[in-house]
């Protein structure tokens, strides 16, 4: 096959070099965006009088037929045509003749690929937005079921204060809500049309870039042709956003993995999202959660690949930038796959309410409330803190909990303690009393769920 760029060079490209140079094996997925961009470009050329209407009609009809054939599996792309742009143009020219050769007037593959990739990323962000909102909905549903399910809250993986399972889940809801906001903000910077920038210095033809951008659904056009063809900030920003999504998923998966263990037994994953062992018949492994945790590193790697690829490139386009697509596509595919598995895994997991509640009796998690009891009686907090610390040491010595420590021991430490202490430091009361916005009290969490549902 004769190269569309043939003329300057003589002789055939070495086969190994040709395969190395070709990107069709991964940019073939841009076929729809490439054809849509070519249709919009051809229509604009016709309106501007740059192409005859007969040629425009032949191009548009030919491209529509080609799109249908690709989607019906009737087309096999050739690595000899290098990339999706040259494959489409070659196939079109084979079908409609010279009119196909006129399609590339007033554009370059440099602005073409930038346009295609931006359109693809916009669509991907919209799909990711939908997946994250579905996950938020699943979190709200699960939280509503467990507004009164007590569990230990942790800092440093040590028992800290009692919370509810709903409150713990809604912490992740906040993380994923921020992820949605980040992606939506990223989309604003993706929504810029570079078509018409040419190879790097626009064109002498009287094109209408605004019309082309509108036809393709872009909010605005790029303002500098060199930047337009060499900008991959939007790919980097997207991968950064997806790295944060994956970090949040990984944190959540780490907790799920811990909660599934015999040491915790807080939850049990549905069999549909678990696996067994090839040798140990008793095993039920949280492999989906472990895989998601592992795949976070893969998306981080995609981000680092893009940053490293771009870090020393002079203006404008350089062939290095062909490396943008595999990393970007992989980050999108990996994150989407993880979200697709994670949401139903969460929705179907069984919560061991009694085990979580029993764990609240360990670790002296009501110590802060015990100190607050004294503060409400007028004692400075630091003095109350010291007294309760000494009481915890006494509990450890006697092998009892704060709930079971005799009132006489409390009153020996401070005469401010009285019989009302018993009710004040139950885990239920410790949680119910924390009704401030953002707190774990059922009423506070209910308000939070309502606010998140408002976003959805």
Using one digit for the tens of pLDDT, what is the confidence trace for 282-309? 889 999 999 999 999 999 999 999 999 9
Among residues 2, 156, 262, 420, which one is catalytic? 156
Q: What is the mean pLDDT of the chain?
A: 95
Burial class (CB in 10 A: 0-12, 13-18, 19+), 426: middle
Sign of CA dihedral 173, 177, 178, 183: positive
Q: Give domain 110-149+164-357's CATH architecture.
A: Up-down Bundle (1.20)
> At residue 435, does pLDDT exceed 60?
yes
> At residue 59, does pLDDT exceed 70?
yes
Q: 247: which 2 tokens? A: 């970090």
104 falls in which pLDDT band (50, 70, 90)? very high
Residue 120: asked if its preceding bond is cis (omega within 30°), the reply is: no
Cα–Cα distance between 68 and 64 in angstroms, integer? 6
Tell me the average pLDDT across 156-185.
97
Residue 12, pLDDT score: 63
> At residue 3, does pLDDT exceed 90?
no
**Catalytic residue at 156?**
yes
The distance between the two most distant Cα atoms of the chain, rounded to a whole number of Å, is: 100
User: 192: helix, coil or strand?
Assistant: strand
> At residue 1, does pLDDT exceed 70?
no
Topology (CATH) of 359-455: Ribonucleotide Reductase Protein R1; domain 1 (1.10.40)
> Among 17-26, 142-151, 157-166, where is mean pLDDT lowest?
17-26
Tell me the average pLDDT across 178-183.
98
Tell me the average pLDDT across 401-422.
94
Q: Where in the chain is the domain with CATH 1.10.40.30?
A: 359-455
Count of residues making up the chain: 456
> At residue 360, does pLDDT exceed 80?
yes
> At residue 15, does pLDDT exceed 90?
no
Q: 53: which 2 tokens? A: 């209407």
281 falls in which pLDDT band (50, 70, 90)? confident
> At residue 6, does pLDDT exceed 80?
no
Cα–Cα distance between 166 and 141 in angstroms, integer? 10
Q: 205: which 2 tokens? A: 């033809």
Burial class (CB in 10 A: 0-12, 13-18, 19+), 239: buried
> At residue 221, does pLDDT exceed 60?
yes
Q: Where in the chain is the domain with CATH 1.20.200.10?
A: 110-149+164-357
Residue 21, pLDDT score: 65
Q: Where in the chain is the domain with CATH 1.10.275.10?
A: 15-105
Among residues 159, 265, 277, 420, which one is catalytic? 277
Residue 22, pLDDT score: 84
> At residue 49, does pLDDT exceed 70?
yes
Tell me the average pLDDT across 435-452.
98
| 15-105 belongs to CATH 1.10.275.10 | yes
Tell me the average pLDDT across 359-384.
95
> At residue 18, does pLDDT exceed 90?
no
**Percent of the chain having pLDDT more than 70?**
97
**Percent of the chain having pLDDT more than 90?**
92
DSSP state of 246: H
Cα–Cα distance between 367 and 389 in angstroms, integer? 8
5 falls in which pLDDT band (50, 70, 90)? very low
Sign of CA dihedral 266, 271, 272, 274: positive
> At residue 245, does pLDDT exceed 90?
yes
């Amino acid at each position: 096959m004769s190269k569309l760029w043939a003329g300057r060079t003589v002789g055939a490209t070495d086969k190994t070099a040709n395969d190395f140079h070709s990107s069709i094996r991964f940019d073939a997925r841009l076929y729809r965006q490439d054809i849509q961009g070519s249709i919009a470009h051809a229509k604009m050329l016709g309106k501007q009088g740059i192409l005859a209407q007969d040629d425009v009609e032949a191009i548009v009809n030919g491209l529509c037929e080609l799109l249908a054939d690709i989607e019906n599996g009737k087309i096999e792309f050739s690595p000899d045509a290098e990339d999706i742009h040259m494959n489409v143009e070659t196939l079109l020219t084979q079908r409609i003749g010279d009119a196909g050769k006129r399609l590339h007037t007033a554009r370059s593959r440099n602005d073409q690929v930038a346009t295609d990739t931006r359109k693809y990323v916009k669509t991907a962000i919209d799909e990711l937005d939908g997946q994250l909102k579905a996950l938020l909905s699943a979190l709200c549903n699960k939280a509503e079921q467990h507004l009164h399910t007590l569990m230990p809250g942790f800092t440093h993986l040590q028992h800290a204060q009692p919370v509810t399972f709903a409150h713990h889940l809604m912490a992740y809801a906040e993380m994923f809500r921020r992820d949605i906001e980040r992606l939506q903000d990223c989309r604003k910077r993706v929504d810029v049309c570079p078509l018409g920038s040419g190879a790097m210095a626009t064109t002498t033809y009287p094109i209408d870039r605004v019309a082309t951008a509108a036809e393709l659904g872009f909010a605005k056009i790029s303002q500098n042709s060199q930047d337009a063809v060499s900008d991959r900030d939007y790919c980097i920003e997207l991968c950064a956003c997806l790295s944060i999504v994956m970090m949040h998923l990984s944190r959540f998966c780490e907790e799920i993995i811990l909660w599934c263990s015999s040491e915790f037994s807080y939850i049990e994953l549905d069999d549909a999202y678990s696996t067994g062992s090839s040798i140990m018949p008793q095993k039920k492994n949280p492999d989906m959660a472990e895989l998601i945790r592992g795949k976070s590193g893969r998306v981080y790697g995609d981000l680092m690949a893009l940053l490293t690829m771009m870090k020393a490139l002079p203006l404008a386009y350089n062939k290095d930038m062909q490396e943008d697509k595999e990393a970007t596509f992989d980050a999108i595919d990996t994150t989407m796959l993880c979200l697709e598995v994670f949401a139903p895994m969460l929705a179907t997991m069984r919560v061991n309410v009694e085990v979580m509640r029993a764990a609240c009796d360990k670790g002296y998690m009501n110590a802060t409330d015990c100190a607050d009891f004294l503060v409400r009686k007028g004692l400075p907090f630091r003095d109350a803190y010291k007294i309760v610390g000494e009481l915890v040491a006494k509990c450890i010595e006697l092998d009892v909990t704060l709930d079971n420590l005799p009132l006489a021991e409390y009153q020996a430490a401070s005469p401010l303690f009285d019989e009302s202490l018993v009710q004040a430091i139950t885990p239920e009361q410790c949680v119910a009393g924390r009704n401030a916005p953002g707190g774990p009290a059922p009423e506070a969490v209910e308000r939070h769920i309502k606010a998140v549902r408002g976003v959805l």
